[in-house]
Structures are given as C-alpha cells and as structure tokens.
Amino acid sequence: MIKIKSTREIEAMRRASRIVAEVLRQLEQMIRPGVTTAALDKKAEQIIRKAGAEPAFLGYHNYPASICTSINEEVVHGIPGLRRLKEGDIISIDVGVRLKGYYGDAAATFAVGGISPAAARLIDVTRRSLEEAIKAMQVGSRLSDLSHAVQSYVEANKFSVVRNFVGHGIGAEMHEDPQLPNFGDPGRGPVLQQGIVLAIEPMVNAGGWEVEVLTDRWTVITKDRGLSAHFEHTVALGAAGPEILTLL
Ligand code: MF3
Ligand code: CO
C-alpha cells in the first residue's frame, strides 16, 4: 500500500533529507587518498547526531555502520572500515537519516583524485539517469515510466542497470511501497499522485548487470568486477512536479 504524504509529513521529510544532503556535502570534502571509510562513517554519525537525528542504517537488519561506502566494483552496502581510499578509486556513499519519525535517504558516487575517463563517464551517466527518472515523476505518470527512463538512458550509453536492488517509497519507514526497479517497460504500475515520496536510486555497472554478495553478507559487488556507480535522491511529488528533498 502506497502511503500518500501530507504537506506536514513532507516538511518533516524535507528536514531529515537536508541533514542527509549536509552529510554528503561534508563527506565529499573529506574524500582524498589515504582517508579510511571508517573516518567518513564517524564524521557522518557526528553530523547526524549533532543535528538531533539518528543514522537510519545503523542497526537496520544489524547493519554495523551509519553509512554505506562502496568502492570501485562494489555496487552498494559496502561496510566502512580501515580500508584507505586511493587515487583513481570511485566511492559511492549512501546516507539515511531519521528525524522525528521521518526518513531521508540519498547516495552519490565521488572520484578520489584523478580517475579514468571511463570511470568519470560511468559517474556522469548514473547521475543523469537519476535526473531522467526525476523528470519522469509527474502527476498522472505511471511508476514504471521512471524505471524505463533510467534503463533507456543507461543502455543508450552502453552501461547496464543492476536488477537485484530497487528504489522504494519512503516516509515514516525507510522502505515503504512501492518498489521501484531501475528497468522495465513504460506505462505499468500505479499512477503517480501528489504526495507520493520515492527514494529513486539507479545502480549502474560499466560491464554486465549481474552482482554477487561478499562473505560479509552485505557488500554487493559486480560479478565481472567492473566498476559500479550509485546515485539516490528522496523526491516528493508536489503540485508543481517533483521536489528533490535531499538537497541543501
Ligand atoms: N539506501 C539504501 C536503501 O535504500 C540503504 C540501505 S543500507 C542498510 O536500501 F544498511 F541500511 F541496509
Ligand atoms: Co534507498
């Protein structure tokens, strides 16, 4: 069941989401060769708690950290630790916050120093595929129009979309209905109405779409060990169209 949000609920989600955006902004400034992913996690938790909020991922199905840090062939759900970033890496950082009972969720992929043109293009195409999905999020459009927008943009650029993980409704829970795949035919699924809030999150692989999970039971990697990127925004559908909540 899709829970349509009131103006008041969307305002609560805007506040949670702004903290998410602030965390991503500050972590981006820390990214350089030699920094550990644990240091990024610690900083994120500090910012979130100082804002009077809670890290949404910490303890979620026993997840052990406040953020996910996924490097190079890691797709999503990489666990922060003592690994140090090195020049040429790409790192996806995913952040979730709960404030006064409402959630915000966003992710972005960043370059560590100078990266290959191929890696830069992957990041660019993934970011733009999210923008395409957001543009497709209009009152009266169908949910799978967003899925199709991501897939067609990504595949036109010769990359592939991950099939095993999806975007999602978000609100008083981090994961609500509906599930939002990043692939599919247009014109299917529920008709979007004002007050729906979605976490839209394309995961894009440079090679094939297939993934596997490491023995830590969290970290998802590409089967072919090619690079992967991930962007996510929490987006509310208002009268005037989509509003990205996870912005400053
Ligand atoms: N942004 C991810 C999602 O929407 C974050 C979940 S990571 C977890 O599913 F650690 F919390 F599981
Ligand atoms: Co999400």
Digit-coded pLDDT (tens) for 57-66: 999 999 999 9
172 C-alpha to ligand 1 centroid (Å): 15
Q: Give the residue, out of 17, 20, 45, 60, with the most ligand 1 atoms within 8 A of its beta carbon, to mutate for a pocket test.
A: 60
Domains of the chain: 7-244 (3.90.230.10)
Peptide bond into 181 cis (omega under 30): no
Per-residue pLDDT band for 159 (boundaries 50, 70, 90) equals very high
Q: Which ligand is nearest to the CA of 199?
A: 2
Query: Residue 154 — very low, low, confident or very high, per pLDDT cuts 50/70/90?
Result: very high
Cβ atoms within 10 A of the Cβ of 86, count? 14
Query: What pLDDT, on a 0 to 100 scale, did the predictor assign at position 207?
Result: 98
Question: Which of 57, 180, 198 is the best mutation target for the ligand 1 pocket, counting ligand atoms within 8 Å of the beta carbon and taking the most?
Answer: 57
pTM to 2 decimals? 0.98
- Distance (Å, whole) CA 76 – CA 92: 7
Q: What is the pLDDT of residue 185?
A: 98
Exposure string for 18-52, b = 16+ CB within 10 A, e = fewer = bbbbbbbeebeeebeeebebbbbbebbbebbeebe
- Cα separation, 102 vs 118, in Å, equals 38
Q: How far away, in angstroms, is 177 Cα from ligand 2 center?
A: 12
What is the average pLDDT value for the chain, to the nearest integer?
Answer: 98
The closest-lying atom of ligand 1 relative to the alpha carbon of residue 107 is: 1
Atom of ligand 1 nearest to the CA of 232: 1
